[in-house]
Amino acid sequence: MPPSAPPNFRENKEALRGLTKIAAKEWGQYGICVNIVLPGAESPAAKAWAEKFPEEYAKQVNLNPMKRFGDPEMDIAPVVAFLAGPDSCYFSGQSVIVDGANSIMP
């Protein structure tokens, strides 16, 4: 995460991942699937960050193996549509990272 990330960002993200697993375990008996999507997407917040910290933004984009952040409609929405549809009816308790392989970089 860039140094300008809000305090406790990582901790909050991990808490949501843990909550996803707990909810999937508890609600599975009712046929409810619970997953979390962790996007690396261009968003209004990312644009504001780019304006405030342009050098840091450019550095983070260049660190991404695809050299870009995801497009919410073209890259992230199809994953969400899959999770909301019938083809994912046995897919539960997962953290789906959609970030162009950014999260696996050192």
Render pLDDT for 40-88 as a digit per residue (tens, 0 to 9): 999 998 899 999 999 999 999 999 999 999 999 999 999 999 999 999 9
Please tell me which residue, 14 or 4, carries the higher pLDDT value. Answer: 14
Using pLDDT thresholds of 50, 70 and 90, give the confidence band for residue 5.
low
Kindly state the tokens that stand for 32.
């409810």
Kindly state the tokens that stand for 21.
């697993």
Q: Flag whether 106 is in a domain.
A: no
- Residue 97: beta bridge partners? 38
Does the pLDDT at position 94 exceed 60?
A: yes
Does the pLDDT at position 4 exceed 70?
A: no
What are the b/e assignments for 17-42, b being 16+ CB within 10 Å? Answer: eeebbebbeeeeeeeebbbbbebbbb
Beta strands in the chain (DSSP E): 36-39, 95-98
What range defines the domain where residue 54 resides?
Answer: 9-100
Which residue do the tokens 């996803």 mark? 20
Q: Flag whether 45 is in a domain.
A: yes
Looking at the 3D structure of the chain, how many domains does it have?
1
Contact in structure between 57 and 49 (CB atoms under 8 Å): yes
What pLDDT sits at residue 72? 96
Domain of residue 43, CATH code: 3.40.50.720
In whole angstroms, give the CA distance from residue 26 to residue 5: 32
What pLDDT sits at residue 56? 93
Contact in structure between 73 and 42 (CB atoms under 8 Å): no
What pLDDT sits at residue 26? 98
Q: What is the mean pLDDT of the chain?
A: 92
Q: Flag whether 3 is in a domain.
A: no
Q: What integer is the mean pLDDT of 13-42?
A: 96
What's the whole-model pTM score?
Answer: 0.82
